[in-house]
Amino acid sequence: MASPTSQRTNKFTTLRLRFLMIMLLCHTPHESKLFSANQNHQKIFSPPPPPQQQQQDSNPHAAFDTLDLDGHFSFQNTAHASRDFGNRFFFRPAAVLHPKSVSDIASTVKHVYEMGPLSGLTVAARGHGHSLQGQSQADGGIVVNMESLTRRPSQGHLRGGGGGRYVDVSGGELWIDVLKETLKQGLAPKSWTDYLHLTVGGTLSNGGISGQAFRHGPQINNVQQLEVVTGKGEVVTCSEKQNAELFFSVLGGLGQFGIITRARISLEAAPDMVRWIRVLYSDFSKFSTDQEHLISLDESFDYIEGFVIINRTGLLNNWRSSFHPKDPVQASQFVSDGKTLYCLEVAKYYKITALHLLQQIQGLLSKLHFITSTLFVSEVSYLGFLDRVHVAEMKLREQGLWEVPHPWLCLFIPGSKMDQFASQVFGSIVTDSSNGPILIYALNQSKWNNNIKRTSLVTPREDVIYHVSFLASAVPSSTGKDGLDYILARNQRILDFSLGAGIGLKQYLPHYTTQEDWKGHFGSKWEVFLKRKLTYDPLAVLAPGHRIFKRQYQIRKQSITEGLLKNT
């Protein structure tokens, strides 16, 4: 039987943990609107900080003069770090750190942590700046330019042989550079994103999905080890067997628990070429049935995606610039105007010496139910296929259409609800696809590594789910259907319908502004998420741009907790 002293200690510890959890919940932000689309994209500033914070933050130079860094701080040229790909939120930092070593990042975070809760300073890791709602920004804080921390995989960090092939890469390395270096050894990572000009740490903090994920899972499902700087400034190596709780916390953790400074990525033998195929459907049920059939097979295509095309004139004629129709005569007679069509896009990877490739592809296609006159095929290099979106980026940049607002909405939909979602959304809410691509493809979570459930990534609880992304670009100053206000309102209609219909969707690249919404997003993972935050970033120093936790909560939590403990 426990002694009275032991009982009092256990009671004390239990009460303390309860109050820590309560205060975390109570001081999660309740902002209802951080940006207004009709205010020329101007930031709405929060109330001024408390006097103590103003005093400590007034001279950021002095606060970091004592740090011995390999890299340097920039206090003047910080405007680039106040924007991102989304081009909707603008929060200017006090300084930008350009690290040349992991210790630069660790020393900076540790310094901020040791300044205590009254400093109000926060730290955000910024990769290629491809976040959508200011997630890589730190209002009045420090932005870490992760691309300064690069270490080419070719410099002795590539390992081969057996089934344990991997590459060690910096968290600030771009995936396109990882691909180019590993290809020199005839190897490549297994899972990708559609756009490769993103940093390793950035995609692993979110998930990282593309058309290979039906088989290999997201990128976070293909990581063997991480090096992480926690919110306390500690440098920790972690994996499934070493510091496992931190490892799974950080993967898909939205940067809340640590900054990824190095990742060990699993590799496989790289192919030479890709046979890239597109076909069309007019019936969504046939389209989704065929997708689910393909992802269920052990021997299938290597890449499976799809997208929705609504009222597009001359669609197949536009494809001819990159694809070849199997039947040119029938393809020329196909009319896409005024129709809602569903494109299945698949690819088969192969070595130049591969045998029976065409028979394999024909066998797979023979089981599908697409419109036969819409079969288009292209042959491209593996590198060219994976880097295909960058080609579109260059064209948009030339036209001045890249650095515009991108009000994207990215979702995971339970497979059992996909027909209902598609019927309403593509039948009534979304009436045009000219604002940008609408991706839709099936994923089979039962084929993923079961450990992914321990990560911070949130998906619906069904084996088959769909990734649906509305990748819209808004025309600045437009008040029409291509304007920001219209697209944001359309996105909200999709979310409102889904909530009312009980679709049970989860956002990918999530963005919420209230405590209740974040709790709803994480669901049963919410309590674990809070405990992990208390363990690895107790002062809420990291990743303020997600607005999950506020730096100020620690001040109240500490004072109230101390008062309660005195009375215990």
User: Would you name the residues annotated as active-site residues?
Assistant: 130, 194, 305
Instruction: Report DSSP letters for 341-358, one per residue.
Output: EEEEEEEEEE-TT-SSHH
Q: Which of 140, 72, 132, 65 is nearest to 544 (CA)?
A: 140
Beta bridge partner(s), residue 535: none
Instruction: Give residue for tokens 């088989």.
Output: 215
Q: What is the C-alpha to C-alpha distance for residues 35 and 57, in angstroms, rounded to an integer? A: 24
State the pairing for strand pair 158-159/166-170.
antiparallel
Cα radius of gyration (the chain) = 25
What are the angstrom distances between the C-alpha of 66 and each of 8, 61, 70, 108, 216? 43, 10, 13, 10, 46
Contact 153, 245 (CB under 8 A): no
- Give the DSSP H/E element, type plus range, for residue 99: none
Q: What is the C-alpha to C-alpha distance for residues 23 and 216, in angstroms, rounded to an integer? A: 39
Instruction: Report DSSP letters for 354-389, one per residue.
Output: -SSHHHHHHHHHTT----GGG-EEEEEEHHHHHTHH
- The sign of the dihedral angle between the CA atoms of 10, 14, 19, 20 is positive
Q: 91: Cβ–Cβ under 8 A, 6 or more apart, which residues?
A: 43, 82, 134, 137, 138, 139, 140, 545
Q: What is the C-alpha to C-alpha distance for residues 66 and 74, in angstroms, rounded to an integer? A: 15
Instruction: Report DSSP letters for 113-172, one per residue.
Output: HHT-TTS---EEEESSS--SSSTT--TTSEEEEGGGS---TTTT-EE-STT--EEEEETT
Chain centroid to CA 450: 20
3-state secondary structure of 466: strand
Which pairs from 523-532 meet CB under 8 Å and 24+ separation?
Answer: 523/458, 525/456, 525/458, 527/21, 529/256, 529/456, 530/21, 530/24, 530/25, 531/21, 532/245, 532/249, 532/253, 532/256, 532/257, 532/456
- The sign of the dihedral angle between the CA atoms of 352, 353, 359, 363 is negative
Residue 536 φ/ψ, nearest 5 degrees: -105, -20
Contact 442, 410 (CB under 8 A): no
